[in-house]
A and B are shown apart, each in its own frame.
Chain A
């Protein structure tokens, strides 16, 4: 699975640490890290929570552009 750089940059744009985002969506920091590293495929429920926390849409953060 590819790294989720969109999530990482959206988080960085709001100057949030992985820990702060994790607390905002109610998961562990390791889970946010695993999503960013492409090691974990989150449920739609968690994707939506992350989108709300970062004020982004699902397309912005989780849609992979076709190559």
Chain B
């Protein structure tokens, strides 16, 4: 029979444990993103970065599903299309720069590299903004569901009385 694990921490320590884990997780996430950008800029092929890419996508997916499940948008930021557009722009510039550098290193064609950078930046921007908007739509839907679920519970309680 499987033995149930007993928590060795009290409530304050559990909060600190979660805080440390949060810092570790975000650091790992940032470093993973940086590693992907640097590897791309250094001319790594898709096969060479596939492992990191799959890890990043999996972690992002788990994060998005977790936030959606509990109706969480962000710890400090409220939704803003302008902010999302700026974030998407920053991501697209980074991705475009990495692709441009990589292309120039491999083919030594400035115009072609610039075109590749612009192409990647443009589609990264579109992809990012679409993904964020999709998450926002999902968040709103989930929030509505959670709020209504609360109401249903209350009305069930009232009907018992």
Chain B, residue nearest A41 (CB): B12
Decide if the interface of chain B is mainly helix, strand, loop or mixed.
helix
Q: What separation, in Å, do the CA atoms of A44 and B10 have in the docked complex?
A: 14
Please name the residue on chain B nearest to A39 by beta carbon.
B12
What is the number of residues of chain B that contact chain A, defined by CB distance less than 8 Å? 4
A5 at the interface (CB under 8 A from B): no
Whether, in the assembled complex, B13 has its beta carbon less than 8 Å from a beta carbon of chain A, the answer is yes
On chain B, the residues within 8 Å of A34 by CB distance are 12
Specify the main secondary structure of chain A where it touches its partner: loop
Q: Is A26 close to B, CB under 8 A?
A: yes
Q: Write out the residue numbers on chain B whose beta carbons fall within 8 Å of the beta carbon of A27.
A: 10-12
B-contact 0/1 string along A17-38, CB 8 Å cutoff: 0000000001110110010000
A46 at the interface (CB under 8 A from B): yes
Q: Encode contact with A along B2-14: 1 for CB under 8 Å, 0 otherwise.
A: 0000000011110
- Residues from chain A with Cβ under 8 Å of B12 in the complex: 27-28, 30-31, 34, 40, 42
- Decide yes or no whether A43 CB sits under 8 A from chain B: yes
Q: Taking CB as reference atom, which chain A residue is nearest B12?
A: A31
**Pairwise interchain contact B11-A28, C-beta atoms closer than 8 A:** no
Quote the shortest CB–CB distance from A4 to chain B (angstroms): 14
- Contact between A43 and B13 (Cβ–Cβ < 8 Å)? no
Q: Which residue of B lies closest to A25 (CB)?
A: B10
A42 to B10: give the CA distance in the assembly, Å: 11
Shortest Cβ gap from A7 to chain B (Å): 14
Residue of A nearest to B9 (CB): A28
Minimum C-beta distance from B7 to chain A (A): 11
Residues of chain B lying within 8 A (CB to CB) of residue A42: 11-12
How distant is the Cα of A46 from the Cα of B10 in the complex, in angstroms?
10
The CB with the most chain A CB atoms within 10 A, among B10, B12, B13, is that of B12
Binding site for A on B (CB under 8 A): 10-13
Report which A residues bind B (CB closer than 8 A).
Answer: 26-28, 30-31, 34, 40, 42-43, 45-46
Given contacts A27-B10, A27-B11, A30-B13, 6 further A-B pairs with CB under 8 A are: A26-B10, A31-B10, A31-B12, A34-B12, A40-B12, A42-B11
